[in-house]
Amino acid sequence: MKNIFKTPIIILLLLNSYLSIAQMNDRNEKIHLLDSVYQALYVSGSFNGNVLIAEKGKVVFKKSYGFADAVTQEKLNLQTVFELASVSKQFTAMGIVLLKKRGQLNYDDPISKYLPELDFYDGVTIRNLLNHTSGVPDYIYVDVFREKWDKTKIATNVEVITEFAKYKPPLDFQPGEKSQYSNTGYALLASIIERVSKQTYERFLKENIFRPLHMKHTFIYRCVYAPEKIKNYAQAYGTDSLLNYISAYHSIENKLTTYNYLDGVVGARTVHSNLEDLLKWDRALYTDKLINPEDKKEIFGSLKTRNGKENSYGFGWVLSQNEKYGKIVNHSGSWAGYITYIERHTDSDKTIILLQNVNTPNSKIALGDIRKIMYGLKLPVNKRIFPNQEDLDKYEGIYSGSDYPKKIVVFKKGNRLAAHYAGSPVSAFSMDAYQNHTFKCEPWDVEMVFNPDNNSLLVTEDEKQYTLKKQK
């Protein structure tokens, strides 16, 4: 008897085979493109670090580029540990969420309930600290530490509280009025974790987050305040005026910097980790192992401030909705020589993790290219131009805008245009020039379009546009 099922089965097998080949080719093409992007950045001195790209939890691409130690020339590897800088904030926020789940605090409690020394900050709640709507000034920039602190001493969270209680720097705005990023908020949250749990910040995170998720290479470390010998550790570097690598914890004159005397403060930074552990963290956030769906609504939810604008910050995560890519939650970090970044595309379950230990004016992370490659979009063919010094002169200046949180200082760096945020301790970033007064900075996917005729600047960050004017 003729087997009537044989032909359809063969066709199905062939179709599955073709699909597998097509998927393999697509995967190989992504690997090739991603490697070519980072290899080019590495060769040009614009990237020194580790990369991991995953789709639905499966690693599509991971690779190390460059050195862990510029002195010994020890190479980075996929297990190397980096300081996460502000990517640490999401772990601090999770600590608060876990305490709330246990009934030990509420998001809308006033912070004075746990930090009575700061009762003059009337109306500031834990929620305000979590989503940067508190108005509490940033300890990194406020005069309390910039001008009044003895910089031969290393401040800790205790000193942040006592110095703020002593000098009482006023709120930058009333709680809930608007959103403004403040590292102080997350330092105070770490102190609240300690006072409520009666454990150190380090022990609480280890016992309640890192150990349950088997994040064996994740820990709290302050390299100046409490130095230790850490195996497979990425040292932090900047560059001097001759582009020689120097320790990011000292200036060219070997004097202590902001990174030194504020190294004892935890909560806003100090979590250290590697690619493997951060992927475990990413995967856990899709499960109910630590938190439930209601908790996730709080963590990844936004609100409107009293000025009517949407706050794009949840609990330790920056939030955005992208037409091409869906909902994105991410966070960047920059401290000393470290540039860190984690991005989660929650609608399609894609993950980007980037860890660098060298921060120079030329450092880049190529975020725009990564996104396009992940979604199979064609990379743009941009023709760079090379303006002369006179052309660059007309772009220099300080730019500000009513709806933009910081001032941008634009200046010449050799034969290129560079910029930095006024008052920020991190390195400036250089930009590539294109036609029509357009400059692009890959590190944070930023585009700047200048209009010299009316001294204005159109800044695009994460596909949001802001109009700034040059100050006279």
- Give how far Cα 453 sits from Cα of 394, 446, 450, 469, Å: 10, 22, 9, 11
Question: Which residues have C-beta within 8 Å of that of residue 353, sequence separation ≥ 6?
Answer: 50, 51, 52, 53, 54, 275, 278, 279, 282, 341, 342
What secondary structure does DSSP assign to 83-119, as a single string? E-GGGGHHHHHHHHHHHHHTTS--TTSBGGGT-GGGT
For residue 68, how many C-alpha atoms fall within 13 Å in the half-sphere facing its CB?
18
Nearest-angstrom CA–CA distance, 401 and 384:
28
Q: Which amino acid is at 246?
A: I
Between CA 171 and CA 182 the distance in angstroms is 11
Query: Which residue type, as a one-letter code, is found at position 17?
Result: S
- Measure the CA–CA gap between 34 and 42, rounded to whole angstroms: 12
Residue 86 a catalytic site member: yes
Find residue 420's DSSP bridge partners. Answer: 409
Exactly one of 86, 182, 334, 427 is catalytic; which is it? 86
- Provide the phi-psi class of 197: left if phi over 0, else alpha when psi is between -120 and 50, else beta: alpha
Q: Give the C-alpha separation, 58 to 457, whole Å.
A: 41
Q: For residue 14, which amino acid is it? A: L
- What positions carry a catalytic annotation? 86
